[in-house]
Amino acid sequence: MWRLSFVAGIVLSCVIATGAMAVPEVPADDNVVLERLPEKGNPALTQLKRMRAALAANPQQIEIAAPVARRAIEAARETGDPRFLGQAQAALAPWWSSNDAPEIALVLRATVKQSQHDFAGALADLDLVLKRNAANGQARLTRATVLTVQGRYEEAKRDCAALVGHALPIVVTACTAAPASLSGSASAAYASLAMELSRPAQDAGLREWAETLAAEIAWRRGARADGEAHFRNALTLDPRDPYLKAAFADFLLEEKRSREVITLLRDDIRNDSLFLRLALAEQRLPESRGDFDTHRTDLAARFEAARMRGDSLHRREEARFRLEIEHDPAGALTLAEANWAVQREPADLAILAAAAHAAGDARAMHVVDDWMATTKLEDLRLAMTIASSGRRAP
């Protein structure tokens, strides 16, 4: 998957792997404190609290509101806590429903919407920005990213091409490599990234984004050693990035290196995406069986709480939980199909393929076949899943 998370650092865009309380609770009094956000011990979150206090005194000033919204979006990405998205939306309240909002408010608004999987709403906001100012690189890159998540690769490539002259070369290269790598040009996309990464003195955040993208492309193409090298390079640049850690954990799980996954993720149980991968690793290790049993129960409660809240952001993760931990192929396939209707990244296709294969559902496997054939997606792991189902990979 090409994450929206790094684009947060460039253009305020992010993928939230949302965390949840294990059990919903309705307080008897509005003044009851259910849980405090994780500000203690985190200077950046303490800074956000101070910024929000300043905004309360000047709620109509976009110059104050925009940095608050931006920092809250970054906090949501860093912690996996969706309540920070609520803080971002609250900061943008004066401009939330207006088509005449300042450009920065529209870009931030689109970022919050795409984090909630309201891709249509996000694209509408970004279209408004680009109609006013076609040279707005933030809106252009964010729109390319959302289009890539939806599998609209040719449109995404056009937005990336329009960044030339308005963004650094590494941004243009990574933007272009993402949709290209998913639509028949993985080798060229990887080569362009490798060339860009060979240049010295790149911004650390930009470089981490490019390294992670290179890792995923190499991994999909079957170049495991190259993929791992890029993953490790990215981790040296940002060892806390939740998206990066989830992707590397998946790599390690596929390599049957579960103990390394536990070392990587043992302190990340607040983030549902990372918590799931920790449980998947524990499931495979006899000495971690006690932890696995506890975490399996916790994950089930989190997913149930999400359903009770009407939160559909966890469908891909819950489908994987249903398939790999609960051994419920039919339930997993229902979730995977609902997820596929919203977003169409390789990880979404992978869980759809795995669930369809496990459930013996030829119709769903045909969806996977068609997508790979139409997009010319190069993914050896998916090809193996298709082959094991008795079908021929496209």
pLDDT in tens, 107-131: 999 999 998 899 999 999 999 999 9
Question: Is 202 inside a domain boundary?
Answer: yes
Mark whether 153 and 10 lie in a shared domain: yes
Question: Is 266 inside a domain boundary?
Answer: no
Question: Is 280 inside a domain boundary?
Answer: no
Distance, CA of 284 to CA of 277 (rounded, Å): 11
Mark whether 138 and 10 lie in a shared domain: yes
299 within 8 A of 276, measured Cβ to Cβ: yes
Burial class of residue 392, CB neighbours in 10 A (0-12, 13-18, 19+): exposed
Q: Is the dihedral of CA 127, 244, 242, 151 positive or negative?
A: positive
Whether pLDDT at 282 is above 50: yes
Question: Is 336 inside a domain boundary?
Answer: yes
pLDDT recorded at residue 3: 55
Mark whether 195 and 140 lie in a shared domain: no
CATH number at residue 155: 1.25.40
Mark whether 127 and 211 lie in a shared domain: no
Question: Is 101 inside a domain boundary?
Answer: yes
Question: Is 246 inside a domain boundary?
Answer: no
Tens-place pLDDT, residues 54-104: 788 778 899 999 999 999 998 888 777 778 888 999 999 999 999 999 999
Domain boundary among 178, 209, 238: 238
Angle, vertex CA 196, rays to CA 195 and CA 197, nearest 5: 90
Question: Is 277 inside a domain boundary?
Answer: no
Mark whether 15 and 130 lie in a shared domain: yes
Query: Tokens standing for 6?
Result: 């790094």
Query: Tokens standing for 341?
Result: 């209707």
pLDDT recorded at residue 54: 75
Query: What band does 52 get if pLDDT is binned at 50, 70 and 90?
Result: confident
**Per-chain mean pLDDT for the chain:** 87
Q: Which of 257, 325, 313 is nearest to 285 (CA)?
A: 257
Mark whether 354 and 226 lie in a shared domain: no
Mark whether 229 and 322 lie in a shared domain: no
Mark whether 151 and 194 lie in a shared domain: no
State the total domains in the chain: 3
Distance, CA of 344 to CA of 151 (rounded, Å): 6
Domain that holds residue 369: 314-394
pLDDT recorded at residue 387: 79
DSSP 164: B
Domain boundary among 238, 271, 292: 238
Q: Which of 98, 97, 176, 167 is nearest to 139 (CA)?
A: 167
What mean pLDDT do residues 223-233 have? 98
Q: Which of 205, 50, 206, 184 is nearest to 193 (CA)?
A: 206
pLDDT recorded at residue 201: 66
Mark whether 331 and 380 lie in a shared domain: yes
Per-residue CA distances from 374 to 146, 147, 153, 390 (Å): 20, 16, 11, 20
Question: Is 319 inside a domain boundary?
Answer: yes
pLDDT recorded at residue 75: 85
DSSP E strands in 215-317: the ranges are none
Mark whether 104 and 199 lie in a shared domain: no
- Predicted TM-score of the model (pTM): 0.87
Mark whether 9 and 155 lie in a shared domain: yes
Domain boundary among 122, 143, 160: 160
Mark whether 110 and 175 lie in a shared domain: no
